[in-house]
Structure 1
Amino acid sequence: MARGPDRIAMDDLQKALAAIRESLGHNPSPAIIRRVRAGLADHAAALEEMRAATDPIGMPRATFDPADPKAIGRMVSIALLAQEMVSLREVKRAYGSGVYAIYYRGDHPLYAAISKTETPIYVGKADPAKDDASDAREQGPKLTDRLIEHAGTIATAEGYSNQLPQGLAPIGLADFTCRRLVCATNAQLVAEKHLISTFWPVWNSETKACWGMSKHGDSAGTRKNKRSPWDVVHPGRPWALDARLQDSLSPQEIAARIDKVLTDYPPRKDHAALLEEMLAGFRQDGAPKDAEVSPVGEEASGPDPEEVGGEDDE
C-alpha cells in the first residue's frame, strides 16, 4: 500500500532532525550550539503554526501571564520609558534599585545618529543591597549610586579632553541625560535584558560595539592584554592609560561597529511611537520577537575577561 504524501513528509522531517543531531558531533562549539538552537526554535514555531492550522478551533499565539519573565521585562521597560528624562549630572542619591537608561544629546561624531533621540547609548541595572529587599529603603541607594558612578566616569573622560590623540573627539557630562525606575527586587534583571534586545545600546557589552564604560579600575599589571573600546575612544581613566595595554579594537573598527548597529536598528525618534512599539510585544497575534544576537554578528569579538578594569558591571 502506497504511503500518503503526509506520511512521506513526516518521515522526511524525522530524517532532517536526525541529520541535525548527527551534525553536532561529540563536542560542538558554543557558536554552533547557539545557531542550531536558534534554528530549531524558529522551526518549532513554524511547526506549532502548522499544528494550529489543522485545528478547527482557533488558538491564540500566546497567553498573557503577568508572572512570565518576558512579560515582566516588557512591563518594567515601558514603566521606565514613562519616567522623566533628567540630566545625568543632576542625579542625587535616593533609595531604590532598578533599571536605567542613559541618553546622549551632544555632537560627538560617533553618536550623531542617536543624539537627541529616544534610543539610549547605554542601559543598565542596579541590584538591591539585600537579595530579599521588600522596599526601596532595604534595596539601598543602589540605582542612583550607579548613575552617579557613570557620571564620574564620563566626567573623567571629559577632563582628559585637552590631551586627546588626534582623530578622537571629546565627550562632556552636560550632554548626557537619563531615565531611572525603582522596581521590585529582581524585576531589574529581566527588564535590562529586554531593553538591551530592544535598543542594542552601543555602550552595552552585549552589543559588542563600544563596551567598557562600566568597568572598574585595577592595575594594568594584573590584566595582561587589552584596553576596552570605550577607553580607546574616550581615554582618561588612569588605569586604562597604561602604555602596556593594547587596544581591543581600533577607533576605526569601533566606528564601523557602531554604524552597523545604528543601521540595523535605526534610532527611535518619537516617544509615542516607541511606546506603541513596546506595547506591540503584548499582542497575542503577531507579537514581535526580541533579538538575541547583536547586530554586529554572533562571531564578532566581544569583551575579554582579561581586559583591564575587569568585567563590565551592568
Structure 2
Amino acid sequence: MALSPDRAAINALQDALDAVLAAAGENPPQAVVRRIREGLSAHAVAVETARAVTDTVRMPSATFDPSDPKIVGRMVSLALLAQPLVRLTDIRSSYGSGVYAIYYSGDHPLYAGISRSETPIYVGKADPANDDASTTREQGARLTARLLEHAGTIATAAGYADQLPNGLSPIRLEDFLSRRLVCATNAQLVAEKHLIRTFWPVWNAETKACWGMSKHGDAASTRANKRSPWDVVHPGRQWALDERLQNSLSPDEIAARIAATLERVPPRRDHAALLEEMLKGFRQNGGGANEREVGPNEDAAGPSEEEVGGADD
C-alpha cells in the first residue's frame, strides 16, 4: 500500500537527515562540518516554519528572557551604540569596566571601506579589577585604561611614519574614535561576543584579517613567535621590529583578507539603520538575530594562542 503524501514526505526528510549524518562520518574535515552546520541551520528554520503552518495556535519566533546570555549581549551592545563618539585623543581616566568599540575616520587605503562608517575597526572588553565588583569604583578604571593603552599603541605606530618601508601607509591617532559603555560585572563578556559576530571588525583576532593590535611584547629568542599582521602593516613597536621575527602574513595577504571581510560583511553606514537592525533581533514576529556565526575568513589560517592579545581581548 502506497504511503500517504504526508507520511512519504516525513520519511524522505528522515532519510535525508540520515544521509547527512552518514556523509559526515566519524572524523569529517572542518570544511564538511561547516557546510553541514550552515545547511542544517538554514533548514531548521524551514522545518520550524512548516511545523508552525500546521499548528492552529500561533507561536512567537522568540521569547524574551533577560537571563539568556544572548539577550544580555544584544541589550548591552545596543546600549553601547547609544553612546557618543569620543576621539581616542580625548579619553580621560574614569572608573568602570565594560565594552568598547574603536572606529576609523582617516584615509588609510586598507580601511577605506570602513572609514567614517558605523562599523568599528576593533571591539573589546575590559574586565573589572575584582571579579565580584558590584560598583564602578570596585571595578576600577579598567575601561578607560584599556582605551588609553590602545591609544598608546596607535600613537607608537604613528610615530614611526617617517621610517615606513615602501608600500606601507601611515596611521594617525587623531583619526580614531571610540564608544564605551560601563556595564555590570560579567555583562561585558557576552556583549563583546555579540559585537564581534555582528561587525567582524578587521582588527579582531576572530576575523583573521589584521590581528595583533592588543598583543603585548614577546622576545623572539624565547618563543616561536611571529610578527602579527597588525605589526606588519603598522610597524613601530620596538619588540615587534626584531629582525628574527617572521611575518604571520604579507602586506598583500592582509589587504586581501580585509577586502574579503568587507565584501562578506558590508560596513554599516547609517546609525539609525544600525539601531533598527539591532532592535530587529528582539522582535518576536518577523524578527531575527543579526549575528553571523561563521567568520568571513573561516577557512583561512588564524593566529595561534601566543599571537592573540591580552586577557581582556
- Give the C-alpha shift of residue 179 in structure 1: 0.7
Contact 2:95 2:139 survives alignment (8 Å): yes
- Give the C-alpha shift of residue 91 in structure 1: 1.2
Identity of aligned residues (%): 69
SS in 1 for 2:125: strand
2:249 aligned with 1:278: no
Q: What is the root-mean-square deviation in Å for CA atoms of aligned residues?
A: 1.8
Distance change (3 Å), C-alpha of 1:302 and 1:277: same
- Give the C-alpha shift of residue 222 in structure 1: 2.6
Residue 220 of structure 1 is matched in structure 2 by 220
Which amino acid counterpart does residue 172 of structure 1 have in structure 2? R
Q: Which runs of 5+ in 2 are unaligned?
A: none
Report Cα offsets for 1:54-95 as digits up to 9, x if no partner.
Answer: 011211111112222222111111111111111112212211
Contact 1:89 1:174 survives alignment (8 Å): yes
Contact 2:202 2:210 survives alignment (8 Å): yes
Aligned partners of 1:132, 1:305: CA distance in 2, in Å? Answer: 27
Residue 67 of structure 1 is matched in structure 2 by 67
2:176 aligned with 1:176: yes
- Give the C-alpha shift of residue 37 in structure 1: 3.0
Residue 28 of structure 2 is matched in structure 1 by 28
Report Cα offsets for 1:2-27 as digits up to 9, x if no partner.
Answer: 21122122222222222222223223
TM norm structure 2: 0.94
Residue 55 of structure 1 is matched in structure 2 by 55
SS in 2 for 1:282: coil
Aligned partners of 1:10, 1:107: CA distance in 2, in Å? Answer: 57
Residue 163 of structure 2 is matched in structure 1 by 163
2:151 aligned with 1:151: yes
Report Cα offsets for 1:128-185 as digits up to 9, x if no partner.
Answer: 1222211111111111111111011101111111111000011111111111000011
2:244 aligned with 1:256: no
- Give the C-alpha shift of residue 312 in structure 1: 7.4
2:20 aligned with 1:6: no
Aligned partners of 2:309, 2:63: CA distance in 1, in Å? Answer: 41
Aligned partners of 2:267, 2:44: CA distance in 1, in Å? Answer: 31
Aligned partners of 2:198, 2:230: CA distance in 1, in Å? Answer: 21
Aligned partners of 1:68, 1:91: CA distance in 2, in Å? Answer: 33
Residue 79 of structure 1 is matched in structure 2 by 79
Aligned partners of 1:97, 1:18: CA distance in 2, in Å? Answer: 48
Residue 128 of structure 1 is matched in structure 2 by 128
Which amino acid counterpart does residue 103 of structure 1 have in structure 2? Y
Which amino acid counterpart does residue 177 of structure 1 have in structure 2? L
2:296 aligned with 1:295: yes
Residue 267 of structure 1 is matched in structure 2 by 267
Aligned partners of 1:305, 1:20: CA distance in 2, in Å? Answer: 33
Which amino acid counterpart does residue 280 of structure 2 have in structure 1? A
Contact 1:155 1:172 survives alignment (8 Å): yes
Aligned partners of 2:10, 2:120: CA distance in 1, in Å? Answer: 47
Residue 96 of structure 2 is matched in structure 1 by 96
Aligned partners of 2:149, 2:30: CA distance in 1, in Å? Answer: 34
Which amino acid counterpart does residue 255 of structure 1 have in structure 2? A
SS in 2 for 1:180: strand
Contact 2:220 2:244 survives alignment (8 Å): yes
2:172 aligned with 1:190: no
Distance change (3 Å), C-alpha of 1:311 and 1:17: farther
SS in 1 for 2:124: strand
TM norm structure 1: 0.93
Aligned partners of 2:218, 2:134: CA distance in 1, in Å? Answer: 34
Residue 247 of structure 1 is matched in structure 2 by 247
